[in-house]
Amino acid sequence: MKVKYTDLGLISYQAAWDLQETLFRQIISEKTVVDAASREQDRLAGHLLFCEHPHVYTLGKSGAERNLLINEEMMQKKGISFFRINRGGDITYHGPGQLVGYPILNLDAFHLTIRKYIYILEEAVIRTLDSYGLNAERLEGATGVWLEPHTHARKICAIGVRASRNVTMHGFAFNVNTDLSFFQFINPCGFTNKGATSLKAETGSPGDMDQIKQRMRSHLAELIGFAWAE
């Protein structure tokens, strides 16, 4: 099975969401079409989009608006957009210096459940952080990737996924060189007693975004089990 990779660079949240929806519908449509001439291993099973966004808060369908701690006027002054979206999870922040990944995948092609898929997203981030000397972990009952989850919990990667007919969209937000001050205006993922952090904050130096993208791509391909489409 093959997955097509696209680096969108810095792109508005709305434009990326529109592209996700288009690719999402295409993958669902293709699930109903059987091409007898195509070999199984050559079939396109999805897309992986990497990008960064201008400052934006997004609130998942199960989220509470009270976790947004700033009013519309202040958001406008600070240049922050706000979207209510159709993924799971509560409120999170996207901005420059954060690696956002949107895998749009036919999980049936890889014999994956949603639970296992989310575990794999977490694992790819955990393995990437390990290469920078950071021991990241999971926190029971709280999706995402954390540092010191049982003592001084701080989230370094948020995960929120939507799935229909076992095709995914949305994905992960990995704080690499993120300006963490924007998290003070929300209760990240609905938590009032846990913080947010970044690779830069933990190591004391900026992360190489191109290097991190390559490592994340490698881990995801290995863990899910796909080759890259041209």
* Rounded Cα gap, residues 123 and 32, in angstroms: 31
- Report how far Cα 189 is from the mean position of its chain's Cα atoms: 13
* Rounded Cα gap, residues 226 and 137, in angstroms: 25
83, pLDDT greater than 50: yes
pLDDT tens per residue, range 157-208: 999 999 999 999 999 999 999 999 999 998 876 676 778 999 999 999 999 9
Given this model, what pLDDT does residue 60 score?
87
Which residue intervals of the chain are DSSP H helices?
13-30, 72-78, 114-130, 199-203, 209-224
Confidence tier at 63 by pLDDT (50, 70, 90): confident
Catalytically active residues, by annotation: 189
CATH class of 2-228: alpha beta
Given this model, what pLDDT does residue 35 score?
47
pLDDT tens per residue, range 6-37: 999 999 999 999 999 999 999 999 887 654 44
Given this model, what pLDDT does residue 43 score?
79
Question: In the chain, what are the domain boundaries?
Answer: 2-228
Find the length of the chain.
230
Confidence tier at 99 by pLDDT (50, 70, 90): very high
For a pLDDT cut of 70, what percent of the chain falls above it?
93
**Chain-wide mean pLDDT for the chain?**
92
